[in-house]
Structure 1
Amino acid sequence: MARGNRLKLLGAGVALALAACSTQGSADAATATASAEPSVHPVSGLRVIPLTVTTTTGQRHAFRVEVAATGAEQQRGLMFRTEMGPDEGMIFPFSQVRMASFWMRNTVIPLDIIFIGPDNRVINIAANAVPYSEESRPSTAPAAAVLELNGGRAAQLGIGPGALVEW
């Protein structure tokens, strides 16, 4: 094989190898970008984030929760929803710590309403709130946020006052 042809062949091989590396790099970059983007709930359109609850006995439970950040999102909450996965929920972060009260108007599924203090610890839980009820379910102390899970889930997982909630 002539020297010129060997150089062309070598050059083609190097170019092919670089192209393969570039393609792989692009795929990795695309995957990294996609995983860095926040996910969005298909029904509510709200941002979905990871949240963990660590019980007072040290058990950690991971959830994916929708974030009801604005007043309108918080007012709607989980109204009209007919289902929610066992490790799903909704977090209502407040702009200021305050006494909070929730009800179940237009809420189809039973919920555990978990009031969270400014130290990210569970204050109290309104367990198994009855669908459609307009009974007020208040916090027993000023709350920084509220977490809603499927009714009975908190008891099932041993989540109670003092548990640490992180998001």
Structure 2
Amino acid sequence: MFLRFLRFSAILIALSFCLQPAARAETTGKGQDALPKETLIVESGGKEHRFVVEVAASEQQRAMGLMFREEMAADHGMLFVFEGEGDRYFWMKNTPLPLDILFIGATGRIVGIAADTIPYSEAVIPSGAPARFVLELNAGTSARLGMNVGDTASSPSMKVE
């Protein structure tokens, strides 16, 4: 009986090791599918630009961000939601995608844009002004669509004050 228990335990341990690569994939991009998605609208130059964004609201989700992600659809992005407004600092460590990073204040107004960030760079990218939200899009999107500081963004997760 005890030997059966040991064998059963060994099988369970072996299975857990087999499943670990899948769990690792969960944290390196593919599992980001588990993040909530919503539509975000940027109003710029009298036009509305719609994006499907993944919402990173917890500390762990924000820390992972788009790291290890190798591709993203042109009309997609990631929205980082913070508890309050403050100076924000981002970097591109472990991020192979070049990105545009839009810093957005609590009222939904874009307060800063870091365009065409460098993949894998550990250089600090500051918001330059207090921001409550940060939107990451594929590099070149903000220039292509004519987005500027002062434009507005809105989504269900952006509770505008």
Q: Considering the TM-score relative to the shorter chain, is it more than 0.5?
A: yes
Question: What aligned pairs does 1:51-70 form with structure 2 within 5 A after superposition?
Answer: 51-55=40-44, 57-70=45-58
2:154 pairs with 1:158: no
Alpha-carbon distance, 1:86 to partner: 0.5
2:71 pairs with 1:92: no
Q: TM-score, normalised by structure 2?
A: 0.76
Whole-angstrom distance in 2 between the partners of 1:89 and 1:64: 6
Whole-angstrom distance in 2 between the partners of 1:128 and 1:113: 8
Whole-angstrom distance in 2 between the partners of 1:87 and 1:42: 18
Whole-angstrom distance in 2 between the partners of 1:151 and 1:43: 22
Question: What aligned pairs does 1:8-157 form with structure 2 within 5 A after superposition?
Answer: 43-44=31-32, 45-55=34-44, 57-157=45-145
Q: Bigger shift: 152-161 or 41-50? A: 41-50
Unaligned runs of at least 5 residues, structure 1: 1-40
Question: Partner amino acid for 2:75?
Answer: D
Q: Structure 1, residues 67-120: CA drift from partner, whole Å, max 9, x if none?
A: 001000000000000000000000001101110010000001100010001110
Q: Percent identity?
A: 46
Q: TM-score, normalised by structure 1?
A: 0.73
Unaligned runs of at least 5 residues, structure 2: 1-28, 156-161
Moved over 4 A (4+): none
Higher Cα radius of gyration: 1
Alpha-carbon distance, 1:59 to partner: 1.0
Alpha-carbon distance, 1:137 to partner: 0.5
